[in-house]
Structure 1
């Protein structure tokens, strides 16, 4: 019976999550049109609401550990669910993503994504997006902030191993910025597919930054080791042993 009740709670949460996106998006749309600051405020408000409603409706609480960056850095994060997108973005002041190009045409998400500085990329053309972003940075056209990137390129369930893609290393080399790894165990509670979400405490941990200057191969090895080691620790803390 407890599983059935939690499943219903998860269903209610999922539904209201999209309603809240519409309501908050419309409410902040005038401010977003006027300035990037207004768009960021709207996105942060939505992140705060989802964090609160997940705890209240489903019993899924979120904990931020470490020191979220405020300066110009890359944030290289483990991606396990939609929740990590929101919690990582909500923890930093001016986050932006490399996002799927099709999302720029989605109501609310597309308009706010472009306004906060996200970089659209067609599926399979990530290299083109990286070159464009580097060109924009060098010419001064890129909006300032923290670039959030997922080194594995997609959501990876806890315990599953996938390669880290070289694009993160190329950005690290060309931008010359520190990289802040982020580990999480949210996938233990919020799986990649399905309605059901488990109650508990999902952790999002900002790890010590990796300074610029390493060779790409050395950087990629350190990034993977730092994130995967921390994720294994957080998964075990949540009771997952895969």
Structure 2
């Protein structure tokens, strides 16, 4: 019962008050487009606060998280890390499905922020667009973040990496920081109920640039799935 009450309170508070952030970002979009960045960061911090104080979800980072010009490869289990990455990094350029950029009004905000478009059904042309957007963001000094599985996966599952990782790894020439996350234990995809507990980010060993594709993928795959069988 407590979990249901907390989940309902979170739903009302987070989504209800997010409207204010969206309206503020829309004003910024038309007046000072660069101001969308700090508004988005504030929204992310608000989200973490709602998760902490309404759901009882704390965040723990295991290991040293390096900051700078890196390609961050992140396990994807729930909506939590999609928003929370803005708390972990300064102005991260995050790869997201292209459909988000086509939503009226929201799409303009996403473009102002600098989301990297991923069109999963477009094959080689989509990979070229992703590479070009990532190179531009990297030139601006922004960290690049990718969810290499392409979609949210249930906690414990370890699907193969999609081609986007290999493409960015080759073209950017950046060291890779793989990050495991176990958010799906507490906030599984498609479930209204969200449980209290600790969401852990586990920072893997940095993968240097220039490795053979199979070796780089194997190292990253193992590292982002390091929390798959942890129960608490």
The two structures have a TM-score, normalised by structure 1, of 0.85
Q: Match of 1:70? A: 67
CA-atom RMSD, angstroms? Answer: 2.4
Q: Match of 1:27? A: 24
State whether residues 114 and 137 of structure 2, in contact with CA within 8 Å, keep that contact through their aligned partners in structure 1: no
Q: Equivalents in 1 of 2:163, 2:146: separation in Å?
A: 12
Deviations 1:145-201 (A, max 9, x none): 122111111111111231112320121012101111111111110011110011111
State whether residues 71 and 145 of structure 2, in contact with CA within 8 Å, keep that contact through their aligned partners in structure 1: yes
Where 1:155 maps in the other structure, the secondary structure is coil
Change (3 A) 1:228 1:98: same
- Extract unaligned runs of 5+ from structure 2: none
State whether residues 166 and 220 of structure 1, in contact with CA within 8 Å, keep that contact through their aligned partners in structure 2: no
Q: Match of 2:199? A: 202
Deviations 1:93-148 (A, max 9, x none): 02122222221133564233211211223341253232123345668997541221
2:184 is the alignment partner of 1:187: yes
Q: Equivalents in 1 of 2:201, 2:36: separation in Å?
A: 24
Change (3 A) 1:73 1:34: farther
Change (3 A) 1:232 1:142: same
Query: 1:225, CA displacement in angstroms?
Result: 1.3
Q: Match of 1:50? A: 47
Where 2:117 maps in the other structure, the secondary structure is strand
In the alignment, which of 217, 228, 232 is matched to residue 232 of structure 1? 228
Residue range with higher mean Cα deviation, 199-208 or 145-154: 199-208
Aligned length: 232
The two structures have a TM-score, normalised by structure 2, of 0.88
State whether residues 58 and 198 of structure 1, in contact with CA within 8 Å, keep that contact through their aligned partners in structure 2: yes
State whether residues 66 and 206 of structure 1, in contact with CA within 8 Å, keep that contact through their aligned partners in structure 2: yes
- Extract unaligned runs of 5+ from structure 1: none
In the alignment, which of 2, 5, 8 is matched to residue 8 of structure 1? 5
